[in-house]
């Protein structure tokens, strides 16, 4: 789900950088107030796990590949703003040092995965948690995959309309919404089930480890 360089027009990534910069600043201020030394090692471990998950691609039938993200695991256990910063850090490291995901697309990737994915996961978890804890965690993982996929598909699909030459030829990503929405959403809707299981098992493990550590 990492958009690479060359897919997005400046009309897309420049405003996205402006928006993301403001939100990163807000999130950093919030983290400074709320973060304590007890939670920090756990946050570091889950952020590192999210990095590893995003680097491990799983092959899909048809030749494509997907990867888990750990977004919901971060959002449920550490809150939306902290998850946004942690995922942004992971995406920045991947883009700047390892060539995974584009530098120009970093803000769009961070907003889609880190902010909106986390917010969707947290909201789904909070809404369903009173009814069923396990279902809430699985749903959080699923929406953390599907919501960013929908946003990425939308952003990709509008590129031919907003950036084309005089003859109407797309200058960046060439496919419209009719292609991008099913092509991006369908595999991620399936992968979301795996992300849901990961969120459930990850949260369970994290709770047990934290309890053991506290004792």
Partner 1 sequence: MSTPLLLLLCLCATSALAHELHHEVSQAQAVVIRLTYGDDTPFAFEAYEIYPEGGKLPAQVGRTDAQGRVAFLPPQAGRWRVKTWSEDGHGLEFTLETGVGTTPAAEDRPLYERHGRIVAGVALILGLFGVLNLYLKRKKS
Report the interface residues with partner 1, using CB under 8 A. Answer: 1, 3-7, 35-37, 40-41, 43-44, 47-48, 51-52, 55-59, 63-65, 67, 89-90, 93-94, 97-100, 152-153, 156, 173-175, 179-180, 183-184, 187
CB of 132 to partner 1, least distance (A): 32
CB of 29 to partner 1, least distance (A): 14
Task: Check: CB of residue 141 under 8 Å from CB of residue 199.
Answer: yes
How far apart CA 180 and CA 149 sit, in angstroms, is 10
Concatenated DSSP letters for 152-168?
A: HHHHHHTHHHHSB-TT-
Residue 22 burial class via C-beta count within 10 angstroms: exposed 0-12, middle 13-18, buried 19 and up: exposed
CB of 74 to partner 1, least distance (A): 12
How far apart CA 25 and CA 44 sit, in angstroms, is 20
Which lies closer to partner 1 via its Cβ, residue 169 or residue 212?
A: 169
Which lies closer to partner 1 via its Cβ, residue 16 or residue 153?
A: 153
66 pairs with which residues across the strands? Answer: 58
How far apart CA 162 and CA 172 sit, in angstroms, is 10
CB of 43 to partner 1, least distance (A): 7
Task: Check: CB of residue 84 under 8 Å from CB of residue 211.
Answer: no
Which lies closer to partner 1 via its Cβ, residue 44 or residue 127?
A: 44
CB of 59 to partner 1, least distance (A): 5
Which lies closer to partner 1 via its Cβ, residue 103 or residue 193?
A: 103
Which lies closer to partner 1 via its Cβ, residue 175 or residue 197?
A: 175
């Amino acid at each position: 789900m990492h958009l690479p360089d060359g897919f997005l027009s400046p009309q897309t990534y420049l405003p996205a950088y402006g928006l993301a910069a403001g939100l990163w600043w807000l999130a950093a201020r919030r983290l400074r107030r709320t973060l304590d030394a007890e939670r920090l090692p756990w946050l570091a471990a889950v952020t590192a796990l999210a990095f590893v998950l995003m680097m491990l691609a799983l092959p899909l039938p048809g030749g494509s590949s997907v990867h888990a993200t750990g977004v919901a695991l971060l959002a449920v256990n550490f809150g939306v703003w902290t998850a946004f910063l942690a995922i942004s850090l992971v995406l920045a490291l991947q883009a700047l040092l390892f060539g995974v995901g584009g530098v120009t697309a970093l803000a769009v990737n961070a907003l889609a995965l880190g902010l909106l994915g986390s917010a969707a996961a947290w909201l789904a978890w909070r809404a369903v948690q009173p009814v069923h804890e396990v279902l809430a965690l699985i749903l959080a993982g699923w929406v953390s995959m599907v919501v960013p996929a929908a946003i990425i598909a939308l952003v990709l699909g509008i590129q031919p309309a907003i950036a084309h030459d005089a003859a109407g030829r797309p200058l960046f990503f060439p496919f419209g919404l009719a292609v991008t929405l099913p092509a991006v959403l369908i595999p991620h809707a399936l992968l979301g089930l795996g992300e849901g299981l990961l969120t459930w098992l990850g949260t369970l493990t994290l709770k047990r480890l934290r309890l053991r550590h506290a004792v």
